[in-house]
Structures are given as C-alpha cells and as structure tokens.
Structure 1
C-alpha cells in the first residue's frame, strides 16, 4: 500500500486498537462539545455534485486535496463497502449514502481539517449525519489497522538494518522512534493534562518507522503534557523490548531515538551536542 495516511488512527494489535478506539472516542466526543451540530442555524448552500467533482480529479489533484493516492482511496472504498461497518440501507426515507461518499467524508476531515458545517455543505447532508459517518469509518479503520502496522519479521529486520547502514552508516538499527503532538480543542475532562508547554492542547502520537518511512508501531492518545521518554515507558513497544527483546530486536538490532530518550533495552539515543563531540 503506497500511502499509510489513515494509519495515524490505527493501532498495531486488536487490543491496542480497542484502547486507541476508546481514546479516539473521547477526543471525538470532546470535538462534539466544541462544534455546534444543531440544525437550526442558517447554512450555506450545499453542493449537490461534489462526488462528481472528486471523481474528475487527476491523480495529482486527488493527492493535493486528500493527501494520499487515488488508488489507496479506491482500495479503502472497496474494503469498506464489504465490511460489517457499512450499511447501504435507506435511513428515514433518505437516499442511501454510498461507501465512496463515506470514505471521502473521512478523508476531507482528516486531510483538510474541515469543520462539520463545511463537510455537510460539501456532501449535501446534515452536520449530525456527517458526524455519525465519521465515527463509523474511524471505528472501521481502527479494526483493520493491525493488518498494515506490523512489527517486521526477522528477515525484514535484516533488510532494514542494511538500508539504514547504507543511508546513515549506523549499524544494527531497525527503526526510528519519535513523538508528535496533535493539536485539538480542549477536552471536556482533565484538560490540564493535555495542555503542553507550547500553549495548545494535544494528545501524543508515538510512532516507529522503518527504513522505508512506513509505520511499524503506533501508540496514540497519551496527554500532551507528558515527556517523550515517559510516553515510551507507557507504550506497548517498551514492554516488548523488556520482555521479548530477542524476538523483537534480533541480530542485536535497536531503535534510534533523539535526545529526549535515554538509552534503554532496544533503544539508543543520540548524543547531545554540547560543543565537545568529536566526529567519532
């Protein structure tokens, strides 16, 4: 799969997916409280042909608007259409919402940070309908994330080690780890824990990528006020490195982290540049 954009919402195993699902639901609920989804306000004119506009995009236009390839979107549509999460039954006498439309609603929301009012206008539906569709598709993505975000096999570990050695001349590392903050509106509960030093609210996203920049482990949802090293200690990858180091890090392999991390089992941190480092 060329694009793993949707993988930001996925966990590596079914149990991790369930945990992330709970945290995702918390943040979606928080958004619901900060976004007015009442239907009594005056709305802009809704578009009636936006799906046709999307289908007319060139590959370059599609990627520019949705931040992934059209072939990846088509794969998502085909899989979602046959999943138990999607229903093509009519609801309340309203026209059916196609699988492609539901996927495009998610992509519009994620790629462009559109408000529900904007999504409703683009896709000619109510804000509450857009909200329900978004939740449903996110839950589906969480359920299949473990199929795409996988820890490498022993042979793949060796392949990554060769690629990293060729790129950076550092031996034996299988992946790089770091955290990123996802800017959100203040959660309804415990919001102080999500307020970070850069003066905005966020959950943390910890990701491990391989030599091809593909996600091989994801841990999401911890409060933004926590330090990167503490996020690591709370994540499943830390437990795996401690309890099953030979299986997860064969051939004396390890992860490479920045100076926010300390050296630990399966992870080596970069040296701090204090003005006295030699090239060696």
Structure 2
C-alpha cells in the first residue's frame, strides 16, 4: 500500500479509481398518462387510432436490443406525432419527451419512413370500375356534379431550399416551397398526392408528370372526370369553370363546379390546421426536400386515418385556401374539352 502511494505521488497523472456515477434516464411519453382531450390536442389522433397505427408500423420502429432503457416504438411515434401537430423545433420537442435532439432526429426519419411504407393502405385512387362508380355517385348526390371521380389542386409548403437549386424552389408568391398536388374525394379523403416538385414548378407540369395525369391522358378512365381551377388547361378529362358564362346552364354549372371543388380547398386547410409543421406560420421546414416530401405524405396518411376515426378538426380562418385561381396565360382550352364541358352543362344543368 505504501509503495502504491509512493508511485502515485511520483506520477501525478495517475489518479485513484473514481466511483462510476449512475446514468439518469428522463421520463418518456406514455399514452396512458394523457386524457382523451389531451391526446387529441397534442397528437391530433385518438388513442384508438394511435394504437392501431402503432400495430401497423411497430416492426419498423421497435428495434431488437438488449438495452434495458431502449426507446420503445410507442414513445417514438408519440414524439413524431407531437412534432407534426405542433411544428416546434426539434430541441423543444426532445426536451418535453425525454429524448436528446439527435435521438429525436433519428426517430423522426424512422417513424416517417414507416408511415410512408404503409401509405398505400390509406391513400388509394379509385382505379376499378366499381370503385369509380361509387365515387361518382357520391359526388353527384352531394354536389350535383356528374362523372366526377376526383378534385385536383396544388398548394405550397414552405421549406429551406438547397443552395444549388434555390431559384427553382421560389414560387410565384416569392417564398421557397414544394408544390404539392393533391386529389381528394367527396368526403375530403385524399386519393392521391404528389410531393416532390419544387415551388417554381407550374401546377399543370406537376399533373402531366404524375402517374394519375398520364393515365387520364391515355384514356384509362374513359369518360370520368377531374375538376380543377382555371390554372389547369381545359381537357375532356379535366373540367374547369367558364371564364365568361353566357347561358343560365353555364352559370349553374359554374356554381356546382365551385361548390364541389371547394372540398379540395378545405382539405388543404385541414392539413395545415391539423399539422402545424406544414403551415408557413410555423416556419419553413428545415429539412432536405426529399424528407419534407415524406413528411407531407405521412401527414396525408394521418389525415385519412383521422377521417376514418371521425376525428374533427377546425380550420382556422387564415388557413383556408383561396377558392378561385386566376387563369394562366398560354393555357388554351382544347376543342374537345370545350365540347365536353358544353355537353355536361347542357345535359345536366339546363332546366
């Protein structure tokens, strides 16, 4: 013992062995610790819908590990849902839920990818004849518009653009964004979404490059129609309003078209109200465009889940999308599109 002390005194760099401090683990989120009202407020879904979603993606977010304090998949899911609902900074979310910021960043990507992987279970366009007939009947009964199987429009979600492509992401409203195309059904369900184009891309270009647009152009859907605003070119499969209606039938057509297409505007408002990370008032999303597109797609899946579980959402007045879009110069209506629109206004809106 004396020799050991002498050696230590001779070499001050050697220190006596210190007692290891025990690790401290923060308390993590637990679904059962929230009331039903708090769950809706913080996560935008009900307890049942969250449990159902967790069962579908748990194999992708629950990691096999021997660590006794590993983060469980439910805590990861709740953390990401809270981020999507609030749009707060990662550091703020992490401090509330018992994660570090780098850990939350990894969980965000993991959970978003898992939700995107099951997106086809909740977002599906009516391809079969029986599905299209059901959708057309609902549109006609609810709004009086015939042959309609979807309402189409685009909106912008603010992002921080890549430095090398900054100009392509600047939209006509002079902020950087992704231009996201959405097609919705008669009850506000999302049937198709495209979230990969820079904000400087025109709506018509997004449609022409999408799988749905190419199927319509090929005649796959026959006489069935999409309804869009005057930012799109009038075609036999995409009907727009009359710019200058001349007859009573054309005016009644415009009224029915406006009333029907307002549904897609409400869906955009619901998305931005339910998931504040998508709204510009919450700030631009600080991720690469590919990840932003996945986040938007994940929010669309959650929107449809909320509809299935009848979870209401109030749309703030400042988040309602404008219903009318000014016509775009250079988009001449096709002759076949004019004939189709005139035929529908005459046969369905004449008295």
TM-score by length of 2: 0.59
User: Distance in 1 between the 2:89 and 2:60 partners?
Assistant: 27
Q: Secondary structure at the match of 2:105?
A: helix
User: Distance in 2 between the 1:241 and 1:172 partners?
Assistant: 14
Q: Where in structure 2 are the equivalents of 1:141-220 lying within 5 Å? A: 141-152=115-126, 153-220=128-195
Return the match for 2:79 from 88, 105, 108.
105
In the superposition, relative to structure 1, how do residues 50 and 96 fare at CA in structure 2: closer, same or farther (>3 Å)? closer
Return the match for 1:51 from 22, 25, 29.
29
Report the equivalent of 2:56.
Answer: 79
Alpha carbons 2:29, 2:79 under 8 Å: kept: no
Report the equivalent of 1:89.
Answer: 65
Alpha carbons 2:147, 2:225 under 8 Å: kept: yes
User: Distance in 2 between the 1:262 and 1:99 partners?
Assistant: 46
User: Distance in 2 between the 1:232 and 1:214 partners?
Assistant: 19
In the superposition, relative to structure 1, how do residues 188 and 129 fare at CA in structure 2: closer, same or farther (>3 Å)? farther
Alpha carbons 1:88, 1:96 under 8 Å: kept: no
User: Distance in 2 between the 1:169 and 1:60 partners?
Assistant: 37
Q: Secondary structure at the match of 1:189?
A: helix
User: Distance in 2 between the 1:155 and 1:136 partners?
Assistant: 36
C-alpha displacement at 1:277, in angstroms? Answer: 6.8
C-alpha displacement at 1:257, in angstroms? Answer: 0.8
Report the equivalent of 1:240.
Answer: 215
| Match status 1:137 vs 2:115 | no
Alpha carbons 1:59, 1:69 under 8 Å: kept: yes
C-alpha displacement at 1:145, in angstroms? Answer: 1.0
Q: Secondary structure at the match of 1:196?
A: coil
User: Distance in 2 between the 1:275 and 1:116 partners?
Assistant: 51
Q: How many residues align?
A: 226
C-alpha displacement at 1:126, in angstroms? Answer: 1.3
C-alpha displacement at 1:265, in angstroms? Answer: 4.9
Q: Secondary structure at the match of 2:158?
A: coil
Report the equivalent of 1:9.
Answer: none
- Segments of 5+ residues of structure 1 without an aligned counterpart are 1-46
Q: Secondary structure at the match of 1:175?
A: strand
C-alpha displacement at 1:113, in angstroms? Answer: 0.7
Alpha carbons 2:230, 2:241 under 8 Å: kept: yes
| Match status 1:63 vs 2:40 | yes
User: Distance in 2 between the 1:181 and 1:119 partners?
Assistant: 25
In the superposition, relative to structure 1, how do residues 259 and 58 fare at CA in structure 2: closer, same or farther (>3 Å)? farther
User: Distance in 2 between the 1:269 and 1:66 partners?
Assistant: 37
C-alpha displacement at 1:182, in angstroms? Answer: 1.0
Q: Secondary structure at the match of 2:164?
A: coil
1:129-187 CA distance string (max 9 Å, x none):
11011111111122111222112132121111111112221111011011111112233
Alpha carbons 1:176, 1:210 under 8 Å: kept: yes
Report the equivalent of 2:7.
Answer: none
Q: CA RMSD in A?
A: 2.4
- Segments of 5+ residues of structure 2 without an aligned counterpart are 1-24, 253-351
